[in-house]
């Protein structure tokens, strides 16, 4: 198994067939097939990494995604299939992220240092991606509020419905729609400047 490529599991075209395949793999894993776990990881790692970045995690994406999967597999009996498996993973990842932030905040307040680090990472990405439009887009997304960035990423990068976003982010469907449209307006205004 190799690193998750950027484009894999992009969420494009995901539908009921994908959800059904997830349920089949879960059943296979429960029956003792460890390869099913690898398949599930392969299907969802990239999306979880994107959501981690969108949620502000930049330094320990690997650990966060790993913790998400470990927690998910340890509590698979609690997954009833009300939402899709991917949405359920987003919910777990977001909860872990909030726990990490709280713990980190208790230790010390390093918000300014983190912002500097983040800027450095984005600068390094700039050198890789030459396209000016994409660079501007990254800047536009970066200036969104944390909630707007999460909702925007789940809607645009993963193609989740407002209902699924509401489930993952812990809000209402209507609030998710408002966050998305506010984010879109903010991105447009940024790009129009």
Partner 1 sequence: MNDCQNAEMRDQLPDLLHERLDALARVALMAHVDGCMDCRDELALLRVAHGTLIKATPRVDMNFIVEALPTAAPRARTLSISRRPIWADWRAAAAGVLLVAGASSYTLLGRHGGASVQAASETVSAAPARSASAVPAPAPQPETVVAESSPEAGESTGLGTSRLGDLDEKQLKALLTEIDQLQPTPITEPDPVTIRVDSKGTTTPEGL
CB nearer to partner 1: give 85 or 152. Answer: 152
- Tokens, residue 125: 């990405």
Binding-site string for partner 1 from residue 39 to residue 58, where x marks contact by CB under 8 A and - marks none: --xx--xx-xxx--xx---x
3 binds partner 1 (CB under 8 A): yes
Going by C-alpha positions, the residue among 16, 157, 10 that lies closest to residue 81 is: 16
CB nearer to partner 1: give 115 or 134. Answer: 134
Buried b / exposed e over 75-100, threshold 16 CB at 10 Å, is: eeeebeeebbbbbbbbbbbbebbeee
127 binds partner 1 (CB under 8 A): no
185 binds partner 1 (CB under 8 A): yes
Torsion angle, alpha carbons of 171, 47, 83, 29, to 10: -140
32 binds partner 1 (CB under 8 A): yes
Three-state SS for 136? helix
Of the candidate residues 24, 134, 143, 145, the single one contacting partner 1 (CB under 8 A): 134
Cβ(55)–Cβ(145) below 8 Å: no
Of the candidate residues 98, 111, 119, 191, the single one contacting partner 1 (CB under 8 A): 191
CB of 106 to partner 1, least distance (A): 25
Q: Which stretch binds partner 1 (CB under 8 A): 23-31, 78-86, 108-116, 168-176?
A: 23-31
137 binds partner 1 (CB under 8 A): yes
CB of 102 to partner 1, least distance (A): 23
Cβ(163)–Cβ(56) below 8 Å: no
Query: Which conformational region is residue 13 in: left (phi greater than 0), alpha (psi within -120 to 50 degrees), or beta?
Result: left
Cβ(1)–Cβ(64) below 8 Å: no
70 binds partner 1 (CB under 8 A): yes
- Size of interface with partner 1, in residues (CB under 8 A): 61
């Amino acid at each position: 198994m190799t690193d998750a490529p950027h484009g894999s599991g992009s969420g494009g075209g995901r539908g009921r067939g994908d959800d059904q395949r997830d349920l089949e793999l879960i059943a296979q894993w429960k029956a003792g097939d460890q390869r099913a776990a690898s398949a599930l990881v392969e299907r969802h790692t990239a999306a979880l990494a994107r959501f981690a970045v969108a949620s502000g995690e930049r330094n320990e994406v690997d650990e966060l995604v790993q913790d998400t999967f470990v927690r998910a597999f340890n509590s698979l009996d609690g997954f009833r299939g009300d939402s899709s498996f991917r949405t359920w993973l987003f919910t777990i990842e977001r909860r872990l992220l909030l726990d990490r932030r709280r713990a980190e905040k208790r230790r010390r307040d390093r918000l300014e240092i983190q912002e500097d680090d983040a800027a450095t990472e984005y600068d390094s990405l700039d050198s890789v991606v030459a396209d000016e439009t994409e660079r501007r887009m990254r800047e536009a997304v970066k200036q969104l509020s944390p909630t707007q960035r999460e909702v925007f990423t789940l809607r645009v990068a993963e193609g989740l419905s407002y209902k699924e976003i509401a489930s993952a982010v812990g809000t209402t469907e209507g609030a998710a729609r408002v966050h998305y449209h506010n984010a879109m307006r903010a991105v447009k205004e940024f790009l129009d400047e």
